Amino acid sequence: MFKVGGIFIPVTDLKRSKDWYSAVLGLTKIDEWQENGEDYGADFVFEKGTTPLTLIKVEKPQPTEFTVKGKDKNVYYNFEVADIDEAYNHFTKHGVETTEIHDFGPMKGFDFFDLDGNPFSIVSEEG
């Protein structure tokens, strides 16, 4: 009955972010729009999937994570890959800030950060 209609990411430099998300995540731009003559946002899709990822221009960075138990930070969503090592190498090759790969038993994962410091998780089912 329901499905995710879109993921919205706040970015401070829309032009740089459009280039970064295209190059690093391999996203394809499907739309962009202006407000009062200025670039305001852009919609992208992944090669495999239909849920758009939308970049929205903001004046200052906005939080895209929440705190668990008063200290541990958690992202709102993650991206799934088949090969965690290949994904990790892809991000390091592009100079993207990442955490180390963590082993969670049946799953491995790591976080990466975009140009505004927005955190995202990459996960892979292991087994």
More confident: 86 or 34:
86
Rounded to 10 degrees, the C-alpha dihedral 93/94/100/101 comes to -70
Give CA–CA dist 54/36, Å, rounded: 19
Give CA–CA dist 83/123, Å, rounded: 9
Residue 54: φ, ψ to 5°: -110, 125
| Partners of 78 in beta bridges | 121
State mean pLDDT over 95-102.
95
Give CA–CA dist 78/108, Å, rounded: 12
Where do the domains of the chain lie, and which CATH numbers do they carry?
7-57 (3.10.180.10), 65-125 (3.10.180.10)
| Cβ 107 vs Cβ 125: under 8 Å | yes
23: which 2 tokens? 């190059």
Distances (CA, A) of 103 to 78, 110, 124, 126: 15, 9, 10, 9
Residue-wise pLDDT tens digits, 46-98:
988 788 999 999 999 888 888 888 777 888 888 999 999 999 999 999 999 99
Indicate the average pLDDT of the chain. Answer: 91
- Name the residue type at position 97: E
